[in-house]
């Protein structure tokens, strides 16, 4: 054996290697262990704390505690699965190798890529220095989500700004959810009438699925929220309480506008992790380039991807992960067995839009924004049932079913769509 051949050998070898120990990674590992316990499986994940991120909107609104959303990563890794507590650095798919940041080379027969996405806080000038103080908060950060609730409780009139960056982002409804909950709180406190609430978004639509828009527009009007389309936050000066936006005018020209604020809730720009963008697996936008139905890579047959990092057009939500997990597992096992890959993902995603305390518009949809309700009522109508599902049922489904590899078969019924 030559020296070059020796160097090429992996330090460790697994049948299935999973990059990312979030909902997707643990869910796939757990389901694989249930369906084929003999497989050697490893998860690459540097973090020691696992977060139920869909709960952070509720934490920021005082309806859930941060502690309720956090668990030790080690306690969630399925029995029999090797935890490589390190960060992935690069992919060599032609050799079935993933290289870790510490230099170890991990070999695989099948690779599942699901490290989520990255939050690009530094793309907004001055944000990192002021986040968590000076009235600047974000439900997208475990470090500042409690401060969101502090800001909401202590604001006694003035100007509250809520921002949304260009798509795609995880949970596209989250930036507006907190605006509704904050407004509802101020309404109940009697201070909403002296509070100027602006929702400033980089895009030109409040929500990507038009079927649910009337309910959301009703909430906007009910609270008196000012919608500012084509406003993209680019800089923050916390001590001065100013936010700078790039604004695209009707003529397509971009101008820069500075706004004063008493409270600023920021949703940061988001993108694929840098090590994915720089890899052979990346496609348009830097996301992992997979077939949108089978979730297998379009160029590398041994690679699958799901969750936020996958280059699919569905909403980046935990509900999408729940729907994608059994598809990836079925197709991965079929490929190992030499069988045809026939599992198909229909683009299912869900967004429980909290339009007030105790009221949720339960948006569910497929590829192309096709509504796909799971319950036999008009899910455009804000309901206490959907609030119960959001606050009580969905967390239990996440911890006790998705992360343990149990199928959650809740059929959706496009024929239930109301006219």
Mind telling me the catalytic residues? 171, 351
Residues 6+ apart with CB under 8 A from 313: 292, 347, 367
Which structure tokens are listed for 94?
């032609």
171 φ, ψ to 5°? 50, 80
CA terminus-to-terminus distance, the chain:
70
Q: Residue 341 in contact with residue 294, Cβ under 8 Å?
A: yes
Region for residue 340 given its phi and psi (left: phi exceeds 0; alpha: psi -120 to 50; beta: otherwise):
beta
**Side-chain-side CA neighbours of residue 292 (13 Å):** 11
d(CA 102, CA 88): 9
Which residue has tokens 């309700």?
A: 373
Region for residue 5 given its phi and psi (left: phi exceeds 0; alpha: psi -120 to 50; beta: otherwise):
alpha
d(CA 43, CA 21): 6
Q: Which residues pair with 119 in a beta bridge?
A: 270
Give the 3-state secondary structure of residue 344.
coil
Nearest residue to 201 (alpha-carbon basis) of 125, 140, 266, 111 = 266
């Amino acid at each position: 054996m030559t020296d070059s051949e020796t160097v090429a050998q992996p330090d460790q070898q697994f049948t299935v290697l999973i990059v990312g120990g979030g909902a997707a990674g643990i869910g796939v590992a757990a389901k694989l262990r249930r369906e084929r316990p003999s497989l050697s499986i490893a998860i690459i994940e540097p973090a020691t704390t696992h977060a139920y991120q869909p709960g952070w909107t509720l934490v920021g609104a005082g309806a859930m505690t941060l502690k309720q959303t956090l668990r030790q990563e080690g306690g969630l890794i399925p029995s029999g699965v090797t935890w490589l507590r390190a960060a992935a650095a690069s992919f060599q798919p032609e050799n079935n190798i993933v290289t870790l940041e510490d230099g170890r080379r991990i070999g695989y027969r099948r690779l599942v890529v699901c490290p989520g996405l990255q939050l690009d806080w530094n793309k907004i000038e001055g944000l990192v220095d002021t986040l968590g103080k000076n009235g600047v908060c974000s439900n997208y950060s475990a470090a500042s989500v409690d401060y969101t609730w502090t800001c909401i409780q202590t604001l006694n009139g003035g100007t509250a700004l809520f921002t949304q960056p260009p798509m795609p982002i995880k949970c596209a409804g989250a930036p507006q959810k907190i605006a509704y909950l904050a407004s509802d709180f101020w309404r109940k406190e009697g201070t909403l009438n002296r509070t100027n609430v602006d929702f400033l978004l980089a895009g030109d639509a409040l929500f990507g699925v038009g079927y649910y828009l009337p309910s959301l527009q009703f909430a906007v009007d009910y609270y008196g929220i000012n919608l500012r389309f084509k406003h993209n936050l680019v800089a923050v000066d916390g001590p001065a309480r100013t936010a700078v936006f790039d604004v695209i005018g009707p003529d397509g020209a971009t101008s820069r506008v500075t706004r004063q604020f008493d409270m600023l809730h920021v949703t940061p720009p988001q993108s694929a992790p840098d090590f994915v963008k720089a890899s052979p697996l990346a496609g348009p936008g830097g996301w992992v380039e997979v077939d949108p139905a089978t979730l297998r890579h379009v160029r590398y047959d041994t690679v699958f991807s799901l969750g936020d990092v996958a280059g699919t057009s569905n909403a980046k939500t935990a509900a999408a992960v729940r729907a994608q997990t059994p598809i990836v597992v079925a197709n991965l096992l079929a490929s190992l067995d030499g069988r045809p890959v026939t599992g198909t993902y229909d683009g299912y995603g869900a967004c429980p839009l909290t339009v007030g305390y105790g009221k949720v518009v339960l948006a569910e949809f497929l590829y192309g924004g096709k509504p796909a309700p799971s319950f036999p009522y008009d899910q455009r109508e804000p309901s206490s049932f959907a609030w119960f599902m959001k606050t009580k049922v969905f967390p239990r489904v996440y911890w006790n079913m998705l992360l343990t590899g149990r199928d959650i078969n809740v059929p959706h019924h496009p024929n239930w769509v109301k006219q």
